Chains A and B, each alone.
Chain A
Amino acid sequence: MSSLAIVTMIFMFVIYFGGFFYFATRPNPKKKG
């Protein structure tokens, strides 16, 4: 695997799975404490 493909893979991982975890962990603003 070329180094450019490895960089692309890491970038895609961060965006695809990072996006998922970011939105999955948003708290409910109506719940206090």
Chain B
Amino acid sequence: MSENKTEFSSRIGFLLVSLGMAFGAGNIWRFPRVCAANDGGAFLVAFLVATIVWAVPLLMIEMIMGKRTKLGTNGAFRNFAGKKNTWMGIWIGFCSMAIMFYYSVVTGWAIKYFTLGASGGLKAGVDTKLLWENFLATPSQTILFHVIAAGIAGWIIYKGVTKGLEVANKIIVPSIVILLLVVMVWSLSKPAAWQGMEYLFRPSLAGLLKPDTWLFAFTQAAWSVGAGWGLMLTYANYMGDDHDIGANSFVIAFADAGSSLLAAMAVLPLIFAISPSVDAANAAMASNNTGLTFIYLAAFFPTIPGGNLFGALFFFALAISALASLLSMVELTCKNFEDVGFTRKKAAIVSTIILILFGIPSALSYDFFDSQDLVWGVGLLISGIMFAYVAWRAGLDNIRDMINEDSWIHVGKWFNYCVMLFPVIFITVFGWWLWQGASWSSNWWAFEWYSPITMITQWVGLGIITLLLNNWIANKIKAPYQEEFLKKRHKGGKTE
């Protein structure tokens, strides 16, 4: 194990940084919409089940890999799964980097709309659809705000783990909760808001029997908690020796689910409170993430007293939520550079430059952005199954023993059963998304933005590249290769 003395200052610090990673724009603009569209109460049950079955075991696997190896995705896979499987860590790292490129653009949009709201640019009567389309069609604007978002994230990562990452999240995470509570209380003070609450909490046993409820719930759990991205593996590098894995995994999962619920309780009543009619509220919820946020909500806010202020607060919450998640992706990239010998500062600068350059295509083309969101969002399911492969290869009981050695709670056999279910969940959800992609294209084999062949080509292409890079990167990692890392465990020996 390499000597890495950088550690989070406390358990609270670690949890706040982890929650900042998990709580992103998707919790604010996707969860409430998907929840409302899938029988509210039924979805809330399915989402919690999906979080515990898929996300919690993945968080535990990621944490034990990061905490024991003190290496990023590439090195952790090399030491845990064997040198020839380093490519999986590289694949996961690239997948999260690809998300980072367009996520910075999203963060930039939220910053732009916060500045618009704060400066009074969102006035009653403004055609927000035209405003949004004009903004997207102005490259100097979209690139400028992408660079601002990347620059802020890069600067925080440059400052280091405790002085940058931890301090930023200690401010950001409580601020998000307070802002959401403020928006929620304000929306609930409006008479029509309670229709939104009815939408959110309507009980539906029939909804629990619908396949769509579960497919959307597992997809949301895979995207929302941030499990299987390699992000928690990276953060676990900086856990203290006495920091727990078992209870913390549940805390992060429940905190993400709870804050998603809080976001839904702020956004859904808000839509009903500020929509001119129930039809307008339904149209807003039927639109996509960006349509709901930057067209409908942007139009509704200024139409009522105090709306401008709360509009600005809402977009500020969205911007800092996205920023906290972006930080974790930049940290993942930075850590992999550090592992091959870059200094922290040099790694942060290189990661930021890469982010700025490769984010530009998404800043220039909304279609490219949306396509990348689909390709790498679904790609995260592949990342998740790669982590499950490592657990399976190490032996489920063996890896569970390792987790229990570092846990304040006992992780029982249920962990094994959940990981055994992963292939079934993967095939079902992954296959469903490919089928969705086919329904959005003229046919499976047409190279269009959302077609299955476009997605498959990018995943397989990345697979070939990472296989070619396998040995080169595995040998470049400075920390010694511990071939016997897991074999010793099987013989009952000590790993450290």
Contacts and interface: CB of A to CB of B under 8 A. Distances in A.
B459 interface: no
A30 B242 CA distance: 9
B41 A12 contact: yes
Contact of B197 (A5, A16, A27): A5
B250 A23 contact: yes
Interface centre among A17, A23, A28 (most CB of B within 10 A): A23
B242 A28 contact: yes
B258 A20 contact: yes
Nearest to B204: A8
Interface in B383-414: 408-409
A17 B258 CA distance: 6
B48 A16 contact: yes
A27 B257 CA distance: 22
A28 B244 contact: yes
Interface in A1-33: 1-2, 4-9, 12-13, 15-17, 19-20, 23-24, 26-30
Nearest to A7: B203
A23 B409 contact: yes
Contacts of B242: 28, 30
Q: Is the interface of A mostly helix, strand, loop or mixed?
A: helix
Given A1-B197, A1-B198, A28-B244, A19 B254 contact: yes
A16 B265 CA distance: 13
Contact of A1 (B41, B194, B248, B254): B194
Given A12-B44, A26-B408, A5 B203 contact: yes
Contact of A28 (B201, B251, B258, B408): B408
Interface string B226-255: 000000000000000010100110110011
Given A16-B261, A27-B408, A29-B408, A9 B254 contact: no
A15 B46 CA distance: 13
Contacts of B487: none
Contacts of B129: none
A12 B250 contact: no
B409 A26 contact: yes
A31 B408 CA distance: 10
B190 interface: no
Interface in B7-43: 15, 40-41
A6 B251 contact: no
B163 interface: no
Contacts of A4: 202-203
Nearest to A19: B254
B41 A20 contact: no
Given A19-B250, A19-B254, A20-B254, A8 B41 contact: yes
B201 A12 contact: yes
Given A23-B254, A26-B247, A5 B409 contact: no
Contacts of B41: 5, 8, 12
B54 to A, nearest CB: 16
Contacts of A7: 203
B281 to A, nearest CB: 16
Contacts of B261: 12-13, 16
Interface centre among A4, A20, A29 (most CB of B within 10 A): A20
A28 to B, nearest CB: 5
B183 to A, nearest CB: 18
Contacts of A28: 242, 244, 408
Nearest to B256: A20
Nearest to A30: B242
B201 A24 contact: no
A5 B202 contact: yes
B232 to A, nearest CB: 16
B319 to A, nearest CB: 25
A9 B244 contact: no
12 contacts: A2-B202, A4-B202, A7-B203, A8-B40, A9-B197, A9-B201, A12-B44, A20-B254, A23-B248, A23-B250, A26-B244, A28-B408
Interface of A: 1-2, 4-9, 12-13, 15-17, 19-20, 23-24, 26-30
Interface of B: 15, 40-41, 44, 48, 194, 197-198, 200-203, 242, 244, 247-248, 250-251, 254-255, 257-258, 261, 408-409
**Pairs A-B, 8 closest by C-beta atoms:** A20-B254, A23-B250, A19-B254, A26-B247, A5-B201, A9-B201, A8-B41, A8-B201
